Amino acid sequence: MHSQLHQNSKSDAQAEKILTGDRATGQLHLGHYVGSLQQRAKLQHQYEQTILVADLQGLTDNGNNPHKVSSNILNVVADYLAVGIDPLKTTICLQSAIPALAELTMYYSNLVSVARLQRNPTVKNEIASKSFGSSIPTGFLMYPISQAADITAFKATLIPVGDDQLPMIEQTNEIVRKLNSIAQDEILVECRPLLSKVPRLPSTDGKSKMSKSMGNCILLSSSEKDISKAVKSMYTDPNHLRIEDPGQVEGNIVFTYLDAFHSDLNYVNDLKQKYKEGGLGDGTTKKILEECLQEILRPVRERRETFISDKAQLIEILQKGSEKSQDESSQVLKDVKNAFGLNLFQ
């Protein structure tokens, strides 16, 4: 009985398909590492997984600065490989190299009203946080449709997201239901969120969003010296002036990072206790954190250096993954075109 249950759950897991990815607008950092990369490196053993390097989506708010996107595509692929994402287990592909995704976006755009996009909470928040003024690029407004194309093109069922991305899943499933109703057949598959349990990692200054140009984040490629510098300048408790004073743990970025990265949480809890009581200096906690981060990032950085030095290999991995993905998504596109009766040449 137990064995049968086990088999069932294994076959269920195999039937699940994960789609995830990153906008190619910068190198990946520790926020990505704890938020998604580690998870992906594990999930690839359990599920069929596709990771999309979303260069087209990156362009939706960088149309006038495309270099920010094009210069980071291989960086992101190297980041993936460095954390142990294995191209033999995970399909890594490039959005702009998969024409079927653009075609699906065009079909779906007829099924979603402008008002519906403008109501999307994720898009609303992102528009508010950017400096578009009244000039929101059309591509940006419609990126939920493009994302629905990405998800459905791979018949993905599980989408790793944070809370803030749940409206994107709902938008995708609305399109799936509309399309299936037009097709009078279950040609597209609804997806579910795989909610991340990890809270978003704050920037080292504890204030703004992580950004390389702000110098408030630690990249997977950061040098030993940069890591050291970043930890030393980390935001702690501004009222903790002398070692013997009691310190505050909440909002203290050093402890937030220790929680996220230290392997021994009992040890971290003891540190917190001591810090609150007084007698533990920021120099010491920072030293402990730095050692921990250096240990985690040293092998990642070294692997990354090897990968980034062989651009031809990165391109080959991306090209193979993109070709496989175009084959896969062409099948879905064919079904969608069929639903619209567009099958003259088939």
Distance (Å, rounded) from C-alpha 328 to C-alpha 95? 13
Amino acid making up residue 135:
S
Candidates 41, 142, 151, 300; binder of a second copy (CB under 8 A) is: 142
Is 319 a residue that touches a second copy (CB under 8 A)?
yes
Distance (Å, rounded) from C-alpha 281 to C-alpha 341? 70
Build a one-symbol-per-residue string for 242-271: x at contacts with a second copy by CB under 8 A, - elsewhere: ------------------------------
Is 59 a residue that touches a second copy (CB under 8 A)?
yes
Q: Which two tokens stand for residue 92?
A: 């890594």
Is 92 a residue that touches a second copy (CB under 8 A)?
no
CB 52 within 8 A of CB 146: no
Is 20 a residue that touches a second copy (CB under 8 A)?
no
CB 77 within 8 A of CB 92: yes
Neighbours of 125 (CB within 10 A): 12
Distance (Å, rounded) from C-alpha 290 to C-alpha 251? 18
- Residue placing its CB nearer to a second copy in the complex, 114 or 243: 114
Is 283 a residue that touches a second copy (CB under 8 A)?
no
- Residue placing its CB nearer to a second copy in the complex, 184 or 239: 184
Is 189 a residue that touches a second copy (CB under 8 A)?
no
Distance (Å, rounded) from C-alpha 197 to C-alpha 203? 18
Choose the binding region for a second copy from 103-111, 202-210, 215-223, 228-236 (rule: CB under 8 A): 103-111
Is 131 a residue that touches a second copy (CB under 8 A)?
no
Is 100 a residue that touches a second copy (CB under 8 A)?
yes
Distance (Å, rounded) from C-alpha 282 to C-alpha 261? 17
Beta bridge partners of 117: none
- Residue placing its CB nearer to a second copy in the complex, 67 or 197: 67
Is 94 a residue that touches a second copy (CB under 8 A)?
yes
Choose the binding region for a second copy from 7-15, 113-121, 198-206, 244-252 (rule: CB under 8 A): 113-121
Is 187 a residue that touches a second copy (CB under 8 A)?
no
Distance (Å, rounded) from C-alpha 268 to C-alpha 258? 7
DSSP state of 342: -
CB 25 within 8 A of CB 68: yes
Q: Which two tokens stand for residue 219?
A: 């990249």
Is 141 a residue that touches a second copy (CB under 8 A)?
yes
- Residue placing its CB nearer to a second copy in the complex, 60 or 157: 60
CB 79 within 8 A of CB 220: yes
- Residue placing its CB nearer to a second copy in the complex, 142 or 188: 142
- Give the footprint of a second copy on this chain (CB under 8 A): 55-56, 59-64, 66-67, 69-71, 73-74, 94, 96-97, 99-100, 102-103, 105-107, 109-117, 132, 134-142, 145-146, 182, 315, 318-319, 322, 337, 339-342, 344-345
